Structure 1
């Protein structure tokens, strides 16, 4: 699939700011865009692949910044863009980012410092002069506005007018809509890209098998021999509490996670390396699914070119998308279309992508997510976190990881940490503590909250609270949940 727009820019100046918003805008409008995947050394020329991409594109957006002319690759790109413009095979849109035209012209006069050969330097200089000329004649008035969102709006109007003329029948309405979107997108810079670590969970590996002639799903279940409780600076923590204690990228303070991660790694390593692989993580609410998924994400995401941890119930996902992959995932869940899938193929079809979706409890949502992940590049991975195993079964997810409650002795130890601030239950409270642990269903979050609720109470008060809960007709977890709401609202 050929690209429609080429974006030339200097990574160190603009990739995390202006260009990130520009690329997101192009993607939202399903414009197939080519851009340099990563920063290359300043003295390395543009590759033949990049120059061929420029020749195939219909438009080029050149973002000239402070260090743009210090890159041989950028200058090569610019020279090729101007060459194609003069042949009338490409439309060029120059944009100046935090730099004056006079400064760029001065830089053009000093290009001999690159020692690229007299002929090449002349081509670079002419290309820069032509870029500034076009900018001053056609686009300099954009700088009168104090918002880069406005500049992106104007760029997109030019792009859509040429590449999608049928969508520009009502320019005023289109202008308002585009400007509204990009006015919102300017706030993306204020949202931390790092993902806050939440929850905690442990797993035990027990691989399934393949039966002769019939493939069985591979299921890893958590037997009651491992705890989903960890130590943070001598304190036991669980679930939501962890998100407030541990930074998103700091898991060094957690104890006991390694063996459980190996179980998930076994599932991931068993996936076909040439295809888009998927695994499921499931269990009841509060058992530690999200913690496990986030830990796995933090550990393996550096191995992928694009990665995103998408929380379906998070309000931030719907308002402040922080990357293209997040925007794609949200679009797939709300309004998937053939044009969206074509754009996904163009943007991510050659990329190694990691997508974690948490918590996904509807079969239809998983089917919609699969419609985009199938266009990801080789070795891409999808991890689905759910409370409904039926979702995984109906969609035939064959590699499944089940997180189960704590074993009895570990649950008692965790309960003691929050009820008595010590590892072992006092002798006089042992019988009552056993009853409390049974009422929680050995769910880490329930153990923590119920233990905290009973802390400091005398034996008679313990007996009263336990009797009230035991008399309830609800499930054990629902009983404690009621106390959580009543006691800590």
Structure 2
């Protein structure tokens, strides 16, 4: 029997979480009925014998099997417990099967533990009867005495000076802690690298009568939902009402918020749940039915205040000690609702990322021999994003090295669709202005200082937005440098590619070498192009058809670095705001170029002799960098450049004339 129990314990194949042992005449219709209800309500699978099976003299094989298949046992020792030979047999079997510490909980219900231990008081009379009845098998009576002494010596709960409600709460909490200590709703692979650990959990459990709102925020796929489930599993036992509502955003878009309201209210309203006719009725019942209850409510994937207001607009909707947790991609939502506690979820470090990938790719914590470098390529692509690591790991499970390489090549050309769709949710909800700001940063401005980014965006009529995009976890602002996760940037590239999959000239932005060369050689540009950025690692010569620029009438941003073109551009779009063109090979700018909108001109190492004639007006130009333009002989008239702030003429060794109007610049 012991070996059978050990096997069951090792494999955790339990049919029941807990087995209840009790004397029916004392407790079945009172204490036990309430305890059983609370255990079932807490999703704890509980065995309680059928009252129709009235106790005989011998424990049934079905009950013996149920004891073997139960993880824990609760023994309710009441005044008449020892009078039942069935109960005493049951107790003996429980102790035989559950030798490991802490798996049996004695509850001393209206009895003194010393009476149980010594078989005195009401227990003395019961054993006097047993010794008469079983005088032919006195060893059995001795075993029963030993079992009572053993169970009385275990750490248990005493009903003395404790109201039944509190006693039941403590029992359920004990069972919950034993059954759920390993967070059984979460696969172990999901917990790799999670930093939301004991310290944060203790903060949530810090005893207080306040109602607390908690925000868990971060980019899509970073692990917010996993953390929220971990929290729910860990602390829900401490609340009268606990509810995890998943996919709030999705339910809202499908007009199904009332279904989530019913999910929250159903344990309280029961059959009256049909009275929740719509969202307004749901909100009314939440306010009126939960205001005196200690509630743990988790709202997963919230993206609008209107959603939050349907469930938890005010603190006085909930009883003392309640905790309301939301997960969101939008930090602004957390700030707007004055949430006292806020956690930003960060990506995984290299070691944790490799382990999570390996658990999905190999079902091991480390890559198999010969796959380490390939694994690191996938991990680098995922950039610490747990969702991406799991999806990519599963995609190469049980595949050979050649298939791994093919998957990696495909990934570099086209993002994984599931990852792309998840990340794109945040982008889709932006207004047009913020969509353009996001794409401009992804293509041209990532890694620049925040004030410079804002200045460039303002010059392109893109106002505000940086802080809003940071709050929505699409951008980062670390050390005043504007950045974004690599997969978020890949998503931006894919959004623009899908504007015209076959012809780059039909897209709004170009920053990939092959796309730009295709447009400029084949002259396939259109008025849809708003920005171009081409940077070569080393200086290259190119044979472009610069007529393509004449079609880009909405071009605002132009960056060409380390490219010397053989032809001379006869036209540059007057729409340009930012021009950075190093190694510009012509002696002059196009004569018909009217740079009225130009804010920044950087042409380092150019062949320019002069810029434009004195009649040219540049009312918006703030930065002019012509450093190392060795042929430059004269500067323009600065009277026409009233806003100039930066002028760099370093290395212009043939400069012989600086216009005297420079002294009037402010």
By the TM > 0.5 criterion, same fold?
A: no
State the TM-score, normalized to the length of structure 2.
0.31
State the TM-score, normalized to the length of structure 1.
0.41
Q: Taking CA–CA contacts closer than 8 Å with sequence separation of 6 or more, which of the two structures ends up with the larger relative contact order?
A: 1
Higher helix share: 1
Choose 1 or 2 for highest CA Rg: 2
